[in-house]
Structure 1
Amino acid sequence: MTATDCLSTWLRVRRDADWQRAPVLRRVQPATDGFRVWCEGPVRRRDPVRANRLLTAYTLARAAAAYRCPLDFTLLATWQREVLGAAEAPFRVNDAYAKAGRERYGLTPRTQADFAVCLREAIETELPPAARAARAYLDVAFFHPFTDGNARAALLTLVHVLAREDIVLPEVGPLQITRYPDDPVGAADLSTLIGVLNRR
């Protein structure tokens, strides 16, 4: 197990990444909703129950965007209960590990409060929508707030942030690649990828 706190590493990278170079997104509804296509395609072929739960959570995420609900942990936990089919989805109470234990995300008395600030910044800052969506995705991935299903929570957060700007991606599959907390170029490149998908 790694001794490095990858969450602390991410918070430094988050400050230094060049978010301003994010592309401008088109507010045009595509012919297909990429998240739904992804759920109905590869996710359903692998696990129909998982697909149904994701689609239910996605419906909630889109509705929350339409109603301009505050983006906070309570909202994410609402989606996560659907994703996991669980009665509760609390914030983790211990350090979390990913990538077969190679990454450790520390837990301090400030972790949940820091996460709340990051989520607010996803909708309250002047950064371009692609940058805010990419950064929010990585925030969820590296804060790792839940004991399970954080990759799904991150993707739901990304599509929610874009939906608040009336943006729907026609494809989300390419977003499903491994990300690293110590990679500022890769973090900014995620916003570039969102731009590429937006124009397909």
Structure 2
Amino acid sequence: MTAADSLSVWLHVRREADWHRAPALQRVPPDRDGFRSWCEGPVRLRDPIRAERLLAAYALAREDAARRTPLNFALLARWQREVLAATEAPFRVSDAYAKAGRERYGLTPRTQADFDSCLNETTDPDVPLAARAARAYLDVAFFHPFTDGNARAALLTLVHVLAREDIVLPEVGPLQTTRYADDPVGAADLAALIGVLNRRRQ
């Protein structure tokens, strides 16, 4: 039996979630760059090459944030080529699966366009920044655009959205917990967690 389309479930949750309850973020310089520290710490301990590739992609994401480059799949693919050390990072061509097959992310002729439309909403000034960053992270997780490295792409997207508005989190490790497409509470909690990390000082 084919699993339900978790991408369609996420898009419903995305529309119904009360993103406006997300906390306001403070533009206070952190004591450290959490993404860089994560790469230099636990990632490098596990795999130095993976760490270097992530740092290279992060540099691109920060440069694009400084230039206010519009966020879309093409931009993510540029970062993902660094993450995977690949010459191409195309949009997937079939359904994708995660969580040991418990979540299936369907593919239609409109999936990539829908993904770009969602990413375009990261500049919506009527939605709190923490919510926009959380929502973009979850968009990448549940659209699952790449055949590999989607968790890394989601985190790069989150830090890019924050960096466009001069927010750098001092820690990113707590963001990396399993998220489910049918969990509106979890989506709201991710936005709240961004607020908590924003206020945290080392």
Measured against the shorter chain, the TM-score band is over 0.9
Structure 1 residue ranges without an equivalent (≥5)? none
> Structure 2 length normalisation: TM-score?
0.97
Q: Which residue of 2 aligns with 1:112?
A: 112
SS of 1:80's equivalent in the other structure is: helix
* Aligned-partner residue type, residue 174 of structure 1: P
- Supply the distance in 2 between the matched residues of 1:94 and 1:171 (Cα, whole angstroms): 34
Cα distance per residue 1:177-200 (max 9 Å; x no partner): 000000001101100000000000
Which whole-Å CA distance do the structure 1 matches of 2:125 and 2:110 have between them? 21
SS of alignment partner, residue 170 of structure 1: coil
Larger mean Cα displacement after TM superposition, 172-181 or 116-125? 116-125
List per-residue Cα deviations over 1:153-172 (Å, max 9, x = no partner).
00000000000010000000
> What is the SS of the residue equivalent to 2:153?
helix
- Name the CA distance, whole Å, in 1 between partners of 2:96 and 2:36: 29
Q: Tell me the equivalent position of 2:25.
A: 25
Corresponding residue SS for 2:97: strand
Structure 1 residue 2: Cα displacement: 4.6
Tell me if structure 1 keeps the 8 A contact 2:3–2:102. Answer: no
Q: Counterparts of 1:154-193 in structure 2 under 5 Å? A: 154-193=154-193
Gaps of 5+ in 2: none
**AA of the residue aligned to 1:49:** I
Q: Percent identity?
A: 80
The residue type paired with residue 31 of structure 2 is A
* AA matched with 2:62: R
Q: Secondary structure at the match of 1:91?
A: coil
Cα distance, 1:124 vs structure 2: 3.1
SS of 2:20 mapped into structure 1? helix
**CA offsets 1:61-110 (integer angstroms, 9 cap, x no match):** 00000001010111000000000000000000000000111110000011
Residues 23-172 of structure 1 aligned to structure 2 (within 5 Å) = 23-172=23-172
**1: distance between equivalents of 2:117 and 2:128?**
18
Contact 1:142 1:181 in 2 (8 A): yes
Give the match's secondary structure for 1:104.
Answer: strand
Once the two structures are superposed, residues 107-159 of structure 1 have per-residue CA deviations (whole angstroms, 9 ceiling, x without a partner) of: 00110010010000012342011000000000000000000000000000000
CA contact (8 A) 1:2 1:102 kept: no
Aligned positions, number: 200
